[in-house]
Amino acid sequence: MESWLRGPRAVAVAGVAAMLVAGALVAASLLTGSDEGVSPRPLPAALDSSETTQLLQGIPQRGAVLGRPDAPVTLVEYGDLQCPYCATWSRMALPELVRDYVRTGRLRIEFRGLAFLGPESETGLRAALAAGEQGKLWHVVDLLYRNQGPENSGWLTDETLRQVGAAVPGLDVGRMLGRRPAMTAKVAKAQASATAAGVNGTPSFEVGPTRGRLQRVEISSLDADALRSAIESARAR
């Protein structure tokens, strides 16, 4: 077996094999790695978070849940931080739902983040989930939606997350960034939940009594009215 592997030829074979292996790894890494940091789309130096702060002021947050834990109805949002329709829904529907249902203690909203649009979705999602450990997931999600850039264009970088984090009152940004690798199980759990619910696009919603059976709701528009009847009927159940 080794008769050919002798003398300088063995050295040449080792060298060529090393170059091939390293070259393949580098090529694969370059193909799958994003160009984050190369051409990030800059955000305004000082991010305006007043609307987000106002929207969420005084509402309890625990992990990915916004609203009182004992609210009778649960709304689950399956969203991708890079999905433009999710951002539109967050801008058009969320404030009304918060005002009419969450603030009155009748609804709790759970964000189940997905990362099917690319690596930048996961970068943001991990940070948002990590912010959830500090009760600030909804602040980060809302600010990212408001400052959303084109899909995988280099907009969602560590720098973006630092800026967003700095605009969230009381958030320990370093801790949020540091905890991102520990979010793998949560990312996988949300994905598994989406698969089980048959979610194949975002935003998607489930509504039902808290701790009861949730049902998928197909929405016809991205405003609050599209979900009102489902929330009302879940309350009546």
Partner 1 sequence: MTDRTLRLCVAALATAGLVVSGYLTWARYADVTIACSTGGCETVQGSSYATVAGIPVPVLGIVGYATLFATALFVLDLARALGAAVALGAFAFSAYLLFVQLALIDAVCDWCVVNDAIVTAVVPFAVLRLRPLVNDPARTGS
User: Considering only residues 181, 196, 198, 211, which one is a binding residue for partner 1 as defined by CB under 8 A?
Assistant: 181
How far apart are CB 31 and partner 1 at their closest, in Å? 8
Stretch of 35-43, 58-66, 200-208, 213-221 lying at the interface with partner 1 (CB under 8 A): 35-43
User: Considering only residues 84, 95, 119, 209, which one is a binding residue for partner 1 as defined by CB under 8 A?
Assistant: 119
CB 154 within 8 Å of CB 41: yes
7 binds partner 1 (CB under 8 A): yes
Q: What share of the chain is helix, strand, coil (3-state, %, to 5)?
A: 50, 10, 40
13 binds partner 1 (CB under 8 A): yes
Stretch of 42-50, 88-96, 120-128, 136-144 lying at the interface with partner 1 (CB under 8 A): 120-128
34 binds partner 1 (CB under 8 A): yes
Asked if residue 203 has a cis previous peptide bond (ω within 30° of 0), the answer is yes
Give exposure, 140-179, as e/b (b: 16+ Cβ within 10 Å): bbbbbbbbbbeebebbbbeebbbbbbebbeebbbeebbeb
User: Considering only residues 111, 180, 190, 206, which one is a binding residue for partner 1 as defined by CB under 8 A?
Assistant: 180
50 binds partner 1 (CB under 8 A): no
Residue 235, classified by CB atoms within 10 Å of its CB into exposed (0-12), middle (13-18) or buried (19+), is middle
166 binds partner 1 (CB under 8 A): no
Q: Which residues pair with 66 in a beta bridge?
A: 61, 109
Nearer to partner 1, 18 or 192 (CB): 18
Give exposure, 183-219, as e/b (b: 16+ Cβ within 10 Å): beebbeebbebbeebebeebbbbbbbebeeebeebeb
Nearer to partner 1, 123 or 210 (CB): 123
How far apart are CB 25 and partner 1 at their closest, in Å? 5
User: Considering only residues 45, 57, 69, 185, which one is a binding residue for partner 1 as defined by CB under 8 A?
Assistant: 185
CB 205 within 8 Å of CB 89: no
The alpha carbon of residue 115 and the mean position of all alpha carbons in its chain are separated, in whole angstroms, by 7
Number of residues that bind partner 1 (CB under 8 A): 47
How far apart are CB 4 and partner 1 at their closest, in Å? 7
Query: Which residues of this protein are in contact with partner 1, per CB under 8 A?
Result: 1-11, 13-15, 17-22, 25-26, 28-29, 31-38, 119, 122-123, 126, 158, 174, 177-185
